[in-house]
Structure 1
């Protein structure tokens, strides 16, 4: 198996956290998004990991892979033109040979799925377009399936509930070389949406040619593309966990929390749903539902629903008050 990971893109919805790093290297629940994803792929024993990077963040991504997963065979290329996700995936073609099966994984989301069942799920079809049933179907491209579970249509952001099976950015193709050929033909035909090439057009061309695709559902679809959804993902991944590997003094921890080795927490209340990266110091503060990245300092602060980047300093001040009866003091 070859695994294709398109990691190009500016991550504009996650700014300012992506101003200096790739969106796949943003931290959540004690790991980068990319580390969460690759850890879930490890049981597949893939022959090669193929990264589609951009010129700005590509070196960061590959340095991270070399340091964190040195045992994996990785290859990288650049998407020099922003021509859409299907174009990005097509750049893996030089590495896909006859007989290769391919798994495409986009890095905006962390998935929870049993990938060991791929062979079983794909026994009577040519590919899997992993999906998740959602209520807000208008926001996504959705799969329309027949009674046997085969995809018969794909609709981008439907106005009516023709389907609630949203595509989650996880795709398996049994014939990887054939898939690359369909990508190339779709691009050569100029099938774009607002100047970019998207995968649904490729998959529909495959279906029209007689190939069969199914839409198995995953257990959880954890969006990491916006600050608010990153915090939701942090809550989900921390549930049931309590890891305090750093130094904690005179503090109260309200589960779940994740404190990495090398972090210091002193005279503070942390939790629930707080992750603190190595090298950070939190003192005289109350922090809940937040992500504190590496080498940052938080002193005399109250934080809720916050994401603090690397090497940031937030220093507040204690207040002395003499407040009479029936008073209201609001500090925003």
Structure 2
């Protein structure tokens, strides 16, 4: 199996964290988004990881060489922002006849058993993984007849389907899929100047290909600060890993403290991940992600996301307050 991972894109919804790093290298629950995805792909036999990058490609290749040095990787740059289908098509030189193909977009960490692919796809040509959602109006959805997809609707006004496409696709015939993308591009089938995969899949369905829409167990969005924190809470649930130096502090499970982090006289948790090199002192932190080499002193943080090498220092208050007082400090 070959895997295509489109990791281009500026990640504007995650700014300022993506001003200096690729969006797939943002941390959540102690690992980068990309590391979470690669680890989930270890359950299948992957021959080659094909990355579609932008000008942050060197960051991706350096990360893979450091964290996953034994994996075979190739890299292609998307110079023109012509959409996700165009990005996937750039991996064509690495996809040969007979290759099956998995396409994984990196805004989402998925929870599903990829080892079931062969069984799920025994009577189909591919899988377009889905998740039933309430706010179907926000997504492209799969419309089924039995267990086969017969239509795809982008952001429907009525609940014709609640099965949202999650950005995870399996194709038995990888080369045939690339050819279908190239035919779609040649036909100029764009939406606001960009090429999208639903047009490709509908072209294939009209030509007799059959696709199923299996539901994944969890769909963890990492595309915005608020959803990144939600994903952090989900991934930390049931995990309590403390490898750093914790001094005279209270940890409220679950938290993830990496080796090399130092915590003094603080209350940490729940749902906090703190990366190596960070120092936390005289602070209270909950529901937050603290990345590498931060200094946090004398602060109360909740639902916060700190990038790398941040220095955030407050000051303790001294008070002399009499009985029956009512004091509200918003700042």
Shorter-chain TM-score tier? over 0.9
Aligned-partner Cα distance in 1 for 2:211–2:176: 14
Match of 1:45 in 2: 45
Q: Which residue of 1 aligns with 2:317?
A: 319
Q: Does the residue aligned with 2:103 lie in a helix, a strand or coil?
A: strand
Deviation at 1:43, TM superposition (A): 2.0
Match of 1:266 among 250, 253, 264: 264
Q: How does 1:52-67 map to 2 (within 5 A)?
A: 52-55=52-55, 57-67=56-66
> Could you state the TM-score of these two structures normalised by the residue count of structure 2?
0.99
What is the rounded CA distance, in whole Å, between the counterparts of 1:141 and 1:190 in structure 2? 20
Whole-Å Cα distance in 2 between the matches of residues 331 and 155 of structure 1?
45
* 1:133 and 2:135 matched: no
- What corresponds to 1:328 in structure 2? 327
Deviations 1:273-300 (A, max 9, x none): 0000000000000000000000001000
- Equivalent residue of 2:296, what SS? strand
Instruction: Report the counterpart of residue 209 of structure 1 in structure 2.
Output: 207
Distance 1:219 1:77 in 2: 31
Matching of residue 110 in structure 1 with residue 148 in structure 2: no
Q: Structure 1 stretches of 5 or more lacking a match? A: none
Give, in whole Å, the separation in 2 of the partners of 1:234 and 1:41. Answer: 20
Distance 2:111 2:254 in 1: 19
Is residue 156 of structure 2 the alignment partner of residue 165 of structure 1?
A: no
Structure 2: distance between partners of 1:119 and 1:329: 60
Alpha-carbon separation, structure 2, partners of 1:261 and 1:166: 39
Superposition deviation, residue 322 in structure 1: 1.7
**Counterparts of residues 178-217 of structure 1 (less than 5 Å):** 178-217=176-215
Which 4+ residue blocks in structure 1 deviate beyond 4 angstroms?
A: none
The secondary structure found in structure 2 opposite 1:117 is: helix
Deviations 1:139-198 (A, max 9, x none): 000000112x00000000001000000000000000001001000000000000000000
Indicate the residue corresponding to 2:242 in structure 1: 244
* Deviation (angstroms), 1:323: 2.2
Q: Distance in 2 between matches of 1:69 and 1:120?
A: 28
Corresponding residue SS for 1:77: strand
Q: Which position in structure 2 is the counterpart of 1:10?
A: 10
| Equivalence for 1:222 | 220
Q: Separation in 2 of the partners of 1:222 and 1:229?
A: 8
Give the whole-Å Cα distance in 2 for the aligned partners of 1:327 and 1:277.
38
Give the match's secondary structure for 1:130.
Answer: strand
Match of 2:71 in 1: 72
Write the deviation string for residues 226-261 of structure 1: whole angstroms up to 9, x where unpaired: 000000000000001100000000000000000000
Please, what is the CA RMSD of the aligned residues? 0.6
Q: For the residues of structure 1 that align with 2:183 and 2:93, how far apart are their CA atoms?
A: 16
Matched, 1:89 2:88: yes
What SS does the aligned partner of 2:41 have? Answer: helix
Alignment of 1:293-308 (within 5 A): 293-308=291-306
Q: Which residue does 1:28 correspond to in 2? A: 28
Inter-partner Cα distance in structure 1 for 2:301 and 2:168:
35
Whole-angstrom CA distance in 2 between matches of 1:252 and 1:208: 60
In the superposition, the TM-score normalised over structure 1's length comes to: 0.99
**Counterparts of 1:263 and 1:330 in 2: how far apart (Å)?**
30
